[in-house]
Amino acid sequence: MAEPSFSLRTPDDDNQPRRICDNCGFVAYENPKIVVGSVVRHEGAILLCRRAIEPRRGFWTIPAGYLELNETPEEGARREAREEAEAELAISRLLAVYSVPRISQVQLIYRAGLKQPGFAAGPESLEVKLFRFEEIPWNELAFPSVHWALGHDAEAEAGAPPAPFANPAGETGSHMPDGGRVAPGDA
Amino acid sequence: MAEPSFSLRTPDDDNQPRRICDNCGFVAYENPKIVVGSVVRHEGAILLCRRAIEPRRGFWTIPAGYLELNETPEEGARREAREEAEAELAISRLLAVYSVPRISQVQLIYRAGLKQPGFAAGPESLEVKLFRFEEIPWNELAFPSVHWALGHDAEAEAGAPPAPFANPAGETGSHMPDGGRVAPGDA
């Protein structure tokens, strides 16, 4: 079997270059991807998962991942919590819409609670734990948007109006809040 | 050159079937798509475009289209208004997040005004016009979500809190509000 071989060319009916297969002409349209996730609160604490996979293996994140075909964002957010934390969520509302244009991501982050008590590390997690806000391992968070979401969730908890939050002013998700660089491909 | 030929198979490191090229093994991951658009108000009237392309050629829509790689949603919404209505937008806020799971779309709809006066039909529009709310051609709107967005924008104009609206209860974008069916592939 031949290896995949793509060249960047502009299809006849288009106005920008796309990846086109040299062998069969298949146009691999690449689109931005939608990440869906949740800040999950249970008895005043927040559920975090320690990643068992790259990127950012060993770092803590909220349950989140790519939306699949034919899913609503809420369904996707519940599925990710099931996969990563074996948790059944009750979603209350959309917390934030973030965009990370460098890696062509739009993230929809929800506020949620546990529908039934109980959670455990799924195959993509090393461990899953509840943290009180003051115990959150801020220096071991996986992605800038996890940092943003936890901060915005605290603002929402304190009574901020129900608009969705967006990227902090001037932030594009390329750096952690302490200035640390995020590896290409990370969110 | 061979024709594209894909089979549905589950890659080794995955848990669902994907389209895989029979010739070279390329995995064509298909992801939900992000539509970005705007309800544009100018001097109390709303800007609509009559579609010059299928689907729903001849029907009226708000300026909207697919988010491109490395764009923020706001940049994409402004680009679409430029392409379809030759209009420069000033976006004020996120109005609504809709999902149309049947066609794997998530739509981010913004509220906007004209940054400078003037607009014209771009190549994808037959005409572009300002409508007072009571003049909107409700029976000639292109997609259910255009109907939702215009209604939600009116609610926002009347002072509804700045949460983003979502799909009307029970609606998945498969029918126009009058019960009319939307052709597969339409949003």
Provide ipTM, 2 decimals.
Answer: 0.85
Least CB-CB distance to B102: which of A21, A70, A94?
A: A70
Condensed to tens digits (0 to 9), the pLDDT of residues A98-107 reads: 999 999 999 9
Rounded to 5 degrees, what are φ and ψ at B35?
-100, 135
Instruction: Report the amino acid identity of residue A106.
Output: V
Look at strands B105-114 and B89-100 and give their pairing: antiparallel
**Rounded distance between C-alpha atoms, residue A147 and residue A143, angstroms:** 7
CB contact under 8 A, A4 and B21: yes
> What's the gap in Å between the CA of A166 and the closest CA on chain B?
9
CATH dotted code for A33-157: 3.90.79.10
Among candidates B33, B106, B49, which has minimal Cα distance to B82? B49
- The domain spans of chain B are 1-30, 33-157
Q: What is the DSSP string of A16-28?
A: S-EEEETTT--EE
Strands (E), chain B: 6-9, 18-21, 27-28, 33-42, 45-51, 60-61, 64-66, 89-100, 105-114, 125-131
> What's the gap in Å between the CA of A95 and the closest CA on chain B?
9
pTM above 0.90, yes or no: no
Identical fold, B1-30 and B33-157: no
Among candidates B130, B96, B137, B138, which has minimal Cα distance to B113? B130
Q: What is the DSSP string of B78-119?
A: HHHHHHHH---EEEEEEEEEEEEGGGTEEEEEEEEEESSS--
Strands (E), A59-104: 60-61, 64-66, 89-100
- Tens digits of pLDDT across chain B (187 residues): 567 788 888 887 777 788 888 888 888 878 899 999 999 999 999 999 999 999 999 999 999 999 999 999 999 999 999 999 999 999 999 999 999 999 999 999 999 999 999 999 999 999 999 999 999 999 999 999 999 999 999 999 998 888 787 888 888 887 787 777 665 444 3
Question: Is B1-30 CATH 2.20.70?
Answer: yes
Contacting residues of B for A16, CB less than 8 Å apart: 68
- Tens digits of pLDDT across chain A (187 residues): 567 788 888 887 777 788 888 888 888 878 999 999 999 999 999 999 999 999 999 999 999 999 999 999 999 999 999 999 999 999 999 999 999 999 999 999 999 999 999 999 999 999 999 999 999 999 999 999 999 999 999 999 998 888 787 888 888 887 787 777 665 444 3
Sign of the CA dihedral B96, A14, B175, B31? negative
- Give how far the C-alpha of residue A134 lies from the chain's centroid of Cα atoms, to the nearest Å: 22
For residue A25, the tally of other CB atoms under 10 A from its CB is 13
Least CB-CB distance to A23: which of B23, B31, B67?
A: B23
Contacting residues of A for B30, CB less than 8 Å apart: 69
> What's the gap in Å between the CA of A99 and the closest CA on chain B?
6
pLDDT of B1 reads: 58
Residues 6+ apart with CB under 8 A from A157: A41
